[in-house]
Amino acid sequence: MVTAEDPTRPGRELRRRYTAADLGVLTRDELSRFAPAGDGDPQADVTLAWELLYRLEPELYDRLVSAERLHPGVLGWLPRGVDRIVEVGAGAGRLTLELIGRGRELVAVEPAAPLRRILARKLGQAEHGGRGRVIHGFFDDLPVASGSADLVVACSAFTPAPGHGGEAGLSEMERVCRPGGRVAIIWPNHLGWLAAHGYTYVRFAGPMAAEFASPEEAAELAGIFYPRAAAEVRRLGQRRVPFEVLGINPPRDLAFKMVGP
């Protein structure tokens, strides 16, 4: 049985980090979404491996996202001075901490309990953190009143797959949005799917790099999360690593929809 923050697997890449034995960490509601057939294998399903990461090694995940900051254009696009913001799949708060001063109230919905704890701790230390509330929930069943938010947003969390949003999740986000408000999917995948659902794509230009704490951390985290880039990251020996080197799209885009009256 694996325990949280297991010291026996430093450096093991994400695809090989967990086994089916680790699925015991998931609640029944989580299993029904992330391994619905009941036979999930995190070595064959990397999405499932990410879910185990959030629950077994949340601080490791937080170190990764702390390095992968959002493009300033994305942050500039998001509204300020609104009444209520709902963020779904808030994680350890990469976007939440950017949003917290922008609304009278912010509701951060996050299913993974260890990430909720990290986010609550960060909000407790943040200016305007008292405006934030961290609650449990899923895209397809948001515990938030209809028409109650000016902005309903998800960052690096929503996909068309039913367990991670899907048709039901998008409908829920739109239900929660107030007429005249916006639903925004930050760092989207599946642009065609979102376009077919009436979403407009926005992309901000310019070079972007992940900003790790040190060259050593860059090498360590690349070994776990970007193994194909690990040798090059070690060779560069730098704290800042261009996203092209990591082999992923930078967090520079979004897709949004204005919800009509």
Residue numbers at the binding site for ligand SAM (CB under 6 A): 33, 54, 65, 88-91, 94-95, 110-112, 115, 138-139, 155-157, 163-164
Token pair of 215 as six digits? 């060259």
Nearer to ligand SAM, 90 or 180 (CB): 90
Shortest distance (Å) from residue 261 CB to ligand SAM: 27
Nearer to ligand SAM, 211 or 231 (CB): 211
Shortest distance (Å) from residue 153 CB to ligand SAM: 9
Torsions phi, psi for 116 (to 5 deg): -60, -40
Sign of CA dihedral 85, 89, 93, 98: negative
Shortest distance (Å) from residue 187 CB to ligand SAM: 7
Q: Could you give the dihedral angle defined by the CA atoms of residues 223, 225, 230 and 234, in that order, rounded to the nearest 10 degrees?
A: -70
Nearer to ligand SAM, 2 or 248 (CB): 248
Nearer to ligand SAM, 108 or 259 (CB): 108
User: For residue 46, with 0-12 CB atoms within 10 Å meaning exposed, 13-18 middle and 19 or more buried, which class applies?
Assistant: exposed
* Beta carbons of 6 and 57 less than 8 angstroms apart: yes
Shortest distance (Å) from residue 244 CB to ligand SAM: 20
Which residue is at the shortest CB distance from ligand SAM? 91
Shortest distance (Å) from residue 58 CB to ligand SAM: 9
Nearer to ligand SAM, 98 or 232 (CB): 98
Nearer to ligand SAM, 180 or 182 (CB): 182
Shortest distance (Å) from residue 91 CB to ligand SAM: 2
